[in-house]
């Protein structure tokens, strides 16, 4: 009987130890929202500013969210393709989601650092939302779960970044505790830039993908944060909303509230999108059939010049980037 008790206690200790180790972080939390200064001289910014939102899918292409083997060559090729495309279609500001900083799953590439240096941006702003040593996702094969994952959101810019912070969004309410422990935290990254005509607030979001109730709560919080800044300064709310544009239901009703607010513009408004959905869909890159990536802006303080989706980038990610050119009024 003593052996049985000893075995049970050993198993419990092993489970607790594994839980603590797996959920522990490997990055000092003070670095979760740091501002990175590069060694290049700041690019001179014209009155016209260009911005892009891109869920980079940790450069895993259409294998994102699939329990499949990936080679280091895949990530090297996707990174090279991404850099080449972005150099040719260079934006003044890029807001990334799902970008890896130092993860086993992407062979310890610092994707943000590589893009920042190769594209010679003046500075960048970090928002880490996943810092775990064990990630039980995707699929059911444990061989894909081990090793640290450091990932998140990132704003890189030719304009000076003067503040960077984030709001951590609520976790799925009805999920079990162990799911929440390993959950990819959803953030609203808040990055303030300096333009020729004053300050500009960028709200970079990556909202819940799987649980609709949680996603609704995240959209409500995004609207709340947008309202907090939009009357004070030019504000852009952009990112991966994980809420399809071309389906009916609660999610679109919530977005409709945002769209119908006074002095709120949309880079690709519904009237434009409905004319030719195919060229404005952002997901998935392999078969673009819906739009879940958006750019909203304060239309009383920002004048849109042009906008679109870069389908030419291909399957670097499972998303396609959406972009907008504008001037600060």
Residues 6+ apart with CB under 8 A from 231: none
Distance CA 91, CA 268 (A): 17
The tokens of 100 are what?
């890896």
3-state secondary structure labels for all residues of 119-136 = HCCCEEEEEEEEEEEECC
pLDDT at 249: 44
CA distance 195 to 217: 32
Place of tokens 């996707």: 78
Maximum alpha-carbon separation in the chain: 79
Q: How far apart are CA 97 and CA 315, in angstroms?
A: 16
- Looking at residue 250, its pLDDT comes to 47
What is the pLDDT at residue 248? 47
CB 49, CB 327: distance < 8 Å: yes
Helix, strand, coil percentages for the chain (3-state, nearest 5): 35, 30, 35
Q: Which residue has the tokens 């444990």?
A: 142
Q: Are strands 48-55 and 322-328 parallel, antiparallel or unpaired?
A: antiparallel
Residue 255: per-residue pLDDT: 81
Write out the CATH class of domain 2-328.
alpha beta
Q: What is the pLDDT along the chain (329 residues), one digit of tens a residue?
A: 666 555 556 555 554 544 444 454 566 777 789 999 887 766 656 789 999 999 999 999 988 877 778 889 999 999 999 999 999 999 999 999 999 998 888 888 999 999 999 999 999 999 998 887 656 556 555 555 556 888 899 999 999 999 999 999 988 877 665 665 666 788 999 999 999 999 999 999 999 988 888 888 999 999 999 999 999 999 999 999 998 865 544 456 778 888 888 899 999 998 899 899 899 999 999 999 999 999 999 999 999 999 999 999 999 999 999 999 999 98
Which residue shows structure tokens 């393709």? 81
pLDDT at 300: 95
Alpha helices in the chain (DSSP H): 2-23, 72-88, 111-119, 177-181, 212-230, 250-259, 270-275, 277-280
């Amino acid at each position: 009987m003593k052996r049985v008790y000893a075995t049970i206690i050993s198993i419990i200790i092993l489970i607790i130890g594994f839980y603590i180790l797996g959920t522990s972080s490997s990055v000092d939390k003070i670095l979760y929202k740091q501002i990175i200064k590069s060694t290049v001289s700041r690019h001179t910014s014209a009155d016209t500013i260009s911005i892009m939102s891109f869920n980079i899918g940790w450069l895993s292409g259409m294998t994102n969210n699939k329990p499949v083997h990936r080679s280091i060559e895949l990530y090297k090729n996707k990174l090279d393709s991404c850099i080449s495309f972005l150099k040719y279609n260079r934006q003044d500001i890029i807001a990334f989601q799902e970008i890896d900083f130092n993860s086993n799953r992407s062979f310890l590439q610092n994707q943000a650092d590589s893009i920042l240096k190769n594209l010679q941006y003046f500075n960048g702003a970090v928002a880490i939302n996943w810092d775990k040593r064990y990630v039980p996702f995707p699929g059911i094969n444990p061989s894909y779960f081990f090793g640290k994952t450091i990932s998140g959101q990132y704003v890189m810019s030719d304009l000076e970044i003067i503040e960077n912070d984030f709001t951590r969004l609520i976790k799925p309410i009805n999920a079990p505790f162990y799911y929440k422990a390993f959950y990819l935290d959803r953030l609203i990254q808040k990055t303030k830039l300096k333009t020729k005509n004053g300050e500009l607030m960028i709200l970079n979001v990556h909202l819940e993908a799987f649980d609709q109730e949680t996603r609704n709560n995240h959209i409500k919080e995004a609207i709340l944060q947008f309202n907090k800044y939009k009357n004070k300064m030019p504000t852009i709310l952009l990112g991966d909303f994980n809420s399809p544009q071309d389906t009916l239901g609660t999610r679109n009703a919530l977005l409709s509230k945002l769209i119908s607010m006074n002095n709120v513009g949309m880079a690709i408004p519904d009237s434009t999108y409905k004319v030719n959905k195919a060229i404005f869909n952002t997901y998935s890159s392999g078969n673009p059939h819906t739009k879940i990536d958006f750019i909203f802006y304060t239309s009383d303080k920002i004048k849109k010049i042009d906008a679109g989706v870069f389908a030419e980038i291909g399957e670097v990610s499972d998303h396609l980037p959406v972009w907008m050119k504008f001037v600060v009024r």
